[in-house]
């Protein structure tokens, strides 16, 4: 237990995702058995990573494979632990230990959020960072709302299927503001650290959206073809010191592929059929029209004598 009164555990997955959750549950249940007074203790895992050793160079850490594994770990915790009727674990926080700076010659393949290039063939030398897919997907995760809603994948269990889903809704807390109703559905196709040439055809049904005018949706999509600066860098010959033009090209692969906004069907139901290769991530973000425009940004500066 740390000084804040939280129970802290460090469990990694040995190249896989589900063992992280399994080890956490086994550890906490043993603590609860031996120390019953700790049953309500908040628990967090601040190193829920698929593999120990941040500096081990592994190809799957460079591309969407790692990004999809991060999403999968979160989805497993939400569905198999936090959302379980039989859950006895006060699970409070899950995070990753990946705030490291990569180094030559493993700019992309270490457990980091960015690829660091120390360009030392110029005067003065300079450093450039490229966003890896794992950092891009964390930006997409920020679009999830505060309340999880029912979602399921038919044709396979959450444990054994490579396809998973996490859905949420955001309800405005303060009326008559620029805030609005939002819903987010996050689909992933992940076989942990494996990359495959196969794909799955997924039919997605979104129901229960408010039947109101002005509803729009946007899709954000990632796979190893559209969001893979590492592969483009390899095709360039893996330059130690990319040129300015090469950095510009590489940044075109940093973002998720976006489509929309597109009007949401007026009746409140939407059906999409998508092809998800392994690995891939698809996020659908639905928003109602805001009743008011965003407020003006204001700055208040105070000085202390």
Integer CA distances (angstroms), 266 to 101, 108, 172, 205, 287, in order: 48, 44, 21, 15, 13
Integer CA distances (angstroms), 119 to 10, 125, 127, 131, 233, in order: 35, 6, 6, 17, 15
At 126-182, the pLDDT tens digits run: 999 999 999 999 999 999 999 888 887 765 444 457 899 999 999 988 877 888 889
**Strand duo 163-170 + 147-148: pairing:** antiparallel
What's the pLDDT band for 6 if we cut at 50, 70, 90? very low
Neighbours of 210 (CB within 10 A): 11
Query: Is-contact 138 256, C-beta < 8 A?
Result: no
The C-alpha atoms of residue 77 and residue 95 are separated, in whole angstroms, by 12
Query: Is-contact 89 151, C-beta < 8 A?
Result: no
What value does the mean pLDDT take over residues 228-250? Answer: 96
Phi, psi of 22 (to 5 degrees): -60, -40
Angle at 109 between CA 129 and CA 257, to 5 degrees: 65
The C-alpha atoms of residue 298 and residue 100 are separated, in whole angstroms, by 35
**pLDDT surpassing 50 at residue 278:** yes
**pLDDT surpassing 90 at residue 214:** no
CA 29 to chain centre: 28
What SS3 state is found at 24?
helix
The C-alpha atoms of residue 278 and residue 62 are separated, in whole angstroms, by 15
At 78-108, the pLDDT tens digits run: 888 887 778 878 888 888 888 899 999 999 9
Query: Is-contact 21 50, C-beta < 8 A?
Result: no
| Residue 172 CB-density burial (10 A; 0-12 exposed, 13-18 middle, 19+ buried) | middle
The C-alpha atoms of residue 247 and residue 234 are separated, in whole angstroms, by 13
Query: Is-contact 8 48, C-beta < 8 A?
Result: no
What value does the mean pLDDT take over residues 198-207? Answer: 88
**Strand duo 216-223 + 257-263: pairing:** antiparallel
What CA dihedral angle connects 28, 30, 34 and 40, to 10 degrees?
A: 20
Length of the chain: 305
**98 or 237, which is more confident?**
237
What's the pLDDT band for 304 if we cut at 50, 70, 90? low
Element (H, E) at 18: helix 18-34
Report the pLDDT value the prediction gives residue 48, as an integer from 0 to 100. 83
Query: Is-contact 9 27, C-beta < 8 A?
Result: yes
């Amino acid at each position: 237990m740390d000084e804040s009164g939280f129970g802290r555990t460090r469990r990694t997955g040995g190249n896989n995702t589900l063992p992280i959750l399994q080890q956490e549950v086994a550890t906490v249940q043993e603590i609860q058995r031996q120390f019953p007074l700790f049953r309500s203790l908040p628990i967090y895992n601040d190193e829920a990573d698929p593999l120990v050793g941040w500096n081990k160079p592994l190809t799957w850490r460079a591309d969407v494979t790692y990004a999809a594994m991060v999403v999968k770990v979160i989805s497993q915790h939400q569905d198999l632990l936090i959302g379980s009727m039989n859950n006895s674990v006060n699970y409070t926080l899950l995070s990753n230990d990946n705030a490291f700076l990569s180094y030559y010659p493993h700019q992309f393949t270490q457990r980091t959020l960015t690829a660091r290039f120390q360009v030392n063939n110029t005067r003065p030398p300079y450093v450039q960072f490229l966003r890896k897919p794992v950092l891009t997907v964390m930006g997409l995760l920020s679009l999830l709302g505060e309340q999880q809603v029912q979602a399921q994948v038919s044709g396979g269990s959450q444990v054994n299927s490579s396809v998973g889903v996490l859905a949420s809704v955001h309800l405005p807390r303060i009326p008559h503001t620029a805030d609005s109703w939002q819903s987010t559905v996050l689909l992933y196709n992940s076989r942990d650290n494996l990359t495959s040439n196969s794909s799955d055809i997924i039919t997605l049904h979104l129901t229960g959206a408010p039947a109101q005018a002005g509803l729009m949706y946007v899709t954000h999509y990632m796979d190893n073809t559209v969001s893979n600066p590492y592969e483009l860098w390899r095709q360039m010959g893996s330059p130690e010191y990319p040129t300015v033009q090469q950095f510009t090209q590489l940044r075109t692969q940093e973002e998720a592929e976006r489509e929309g906004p597109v009007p949401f069907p007026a009746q409140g139901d939407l059906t999409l059929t998508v092809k998800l290769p392994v690995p891939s991530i698809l996020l659908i973000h639905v928003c109602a029209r805001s009743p008011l425009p965003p407020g003006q940004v204001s700055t208040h500066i105070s000085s202390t004598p």
